[in-house]
Structure formats: structure tokens, C-alpha cells
């Protein structure tokens, strides 16, 4: 973070940020999937086409299970939990929890070292 904050120009900051993102991506490719999921769920769109392959090709590839407000009257208690899924570029449906857990595990290892179980 010191290198990023210590940059004198916006161009230098962006270059350093790209280097750091690249290093993180090399350690954990799921970071880019989480980034795509965040774009879709927050902005209802994917950011400007980046210089990288996407895990999600369009907003329509992100779906959720029925939730409380989708349940028939009187059955809401059975529909309270929602799950979010995305369709990978290869067509497989994946829960967003898998890449999110992978990223959390990477950061825990980076910050706290390998945890023994």
C-alpha cells in the first residue's frame, strides 16, 4: 500500500495498482471471478472490457434461487435463504461461495500464514 500511496502521479498509481493486481491474480485466479461478480451485483453490468478473460460473460449469467418475496403466500419460511450462482464461460453453473471462499482462504494465508487444522 505504501508504494501505491507514494506514487506521484495518477499514471504511476495506476501502473503500480496493475502490478499488484497482477501479482494477486497469479496467487489466486478466483479474485477476478469475485471482481466480476461484484461488478454484476453492484452495478448490474460488467466494467469496461478489461485486458483479461472474464469468468462471467454477461449480467444474465448471474442468477439466484427464489427468495422470500418470490414464495407463494404462506410458504415464505421455506424460501428465506437465497443462493447466488453464475454460469461460467464453459457453461457450468457455480455457486458464488466457491470463488469467494477461495479468495478468503488466500488472504488468510497471506495475512496470517498457513493455518493448521
Lay out the sheet containing 93-95: strands in order across: 62-64, 84-87, 93-95
pLDDT of 61-107, one tens digit each? 777 766 655 656 655 555 555 677 888 878 888 888 899 999 999 99
Domains of the chain: which residue ranges?
2-112
41 DSSP 8-state letter? H
Choose among 7, 12, 107: nearest CA to 99: 107
Nearest-CA neighbor of 82 among 67, 70, 100, 60?
67
> What pTM does this model have?
0.65
Which is nearest to 62 in space by CA: 95, 102, 28, 104? 95
What are the pLDDT digits (tens) for 2-17? 555 566 788 888 888 8
Amino acid at each position: 500500500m505504501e508504494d501505491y500511496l507514494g506514487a506521484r502521479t495518477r499514471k504511476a498509481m495506476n501502473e503500480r495498482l496493475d502490478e499488484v493486481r497482477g501479482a494477486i491474480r497469479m496467487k489466486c485466479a478466483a479474485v477476478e471471478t469475485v471482481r466480476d461478480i461484484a461488478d454484476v451485483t453492484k452495478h448490474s453490468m460488467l466494467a469496461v472490457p478489461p485486458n483479461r478473460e472474464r469468468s462471467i460473460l454477461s449480467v444474465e449469467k448471474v442468477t439466484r434461487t427464489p427468495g422470500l418475496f418470490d414464495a407463494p403466500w404462506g410458504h415464505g419460511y421455506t424460501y428465506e435463504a437465497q443462493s447466488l450462482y453464475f454460469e461460467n464461460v464453459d457453461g457450468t453453473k457455480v455457486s458464488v461461495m466457491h470463488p469467494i471462499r477461495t479468495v478468503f482462504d488466500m488472504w488468510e494465508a497471506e495475512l496470517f500464514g498457513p493455518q493448521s487444522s
